[in-house]
Amino acid sequence: MGMLTRIDHIGIACHDLDTTVEFYRTTYGFEVFHAEVNEEQGVREAMLKINETSDGGASYIQLLQPLTEDSPVGKWLAKNGEGVHHIAFGTADVDAEADAVREKGVRVLYDSPRAGSMGSRITFLHPKDCHGVLTELVTSATDH
């Protein structure tokens, strides 16, 4: 209980990553902290660091462009249009937190955590078990 120690990021799906990065840069002054392609997740993504957090981590805006139309984010975009795709809570131990929420009856989408941004390990909770919010749990490479 209470072992999710930060809002790690807000994941936002967009049609064109470069255009959306440029919007966040010119409108708010947010710069790209990190960019990568995650083939397993089927996304091209950019992380915009907004602030540091009291648990030693940070909070980001994560912009996501699907690599293909039939990827999960691609299908989500086709249905919903651009917008907030998921939210992510940071924890020092994503394995233990995933087990804990699973025991409470929340469906966890992966049997074990997978590779997320910047060397993190992530899992997702089913949005229908979370009042409509696709919720990620993440342990960053620097969490300890």
CB 48, min distance to a second copy, A: 10
Residue 90 CA to residue 99 CA, distance in Å, equals 15
Burial (CB count within 10 angstroms: exposed 0-12, middle 13-18, buried 19+), residue 37? exposed
- Residues 63-92 touching a second copy, rule: CB under 8 A, are 81-84, 87, 89
- Which helix (H) or strand (E) covers residue 59, if one does? strand 58-66
22 carries an active-site annotation: no
Hunting for tokens 């899992």 — which residue is that?
Answer: 123
Choose, from 45, 65, 85, 97, the residue flagged as catalytic: 45
Size of the site for a second copy (CB under 8 A): 39
Which two structure tokens, joined as six digits, stand for 73?
Answer: 């984010």
Q: Which is nearer to a second copy, 3 or 115 (CB)?
A: 3
Residue type, 32: V
CA angle (32 as vertex; 51, 135 as ends), nearest 5: 60
Q: Identify which of residues 12 and 94 has a Cβ nearer to a second copy in the complex.
A: 12
Per the annotation, the verdict on 9 as an active-site residue is: yes
Q: Which of 41, 85, 97, 136 is catalytic?
A: 136
Whether the Cβ atoms of residue 72 and residue 134 lie closer than 8 Å to each other: no
Q: Is 69 labeled as catalytic in the residue annotation?
A: no
Residue from 46, 47, 101, 138 binding a second copy (CB under 8 A): 101
- As given in the structure block, the two tokens for residue 142 are 């620097």
Active-site option among 41, 62, 85, 97: 62
Residues annotated as part of the active site? 9, 45, 62, 86, 136
Residues at the site binding a second copy, with contacts judged by CB under 8 A? 1-7, 10, 12, 14, 20, 23, 26-30, 50-55, 59, 61, 81-84, 87, 89, 101, 104, 106, 127, 130-133
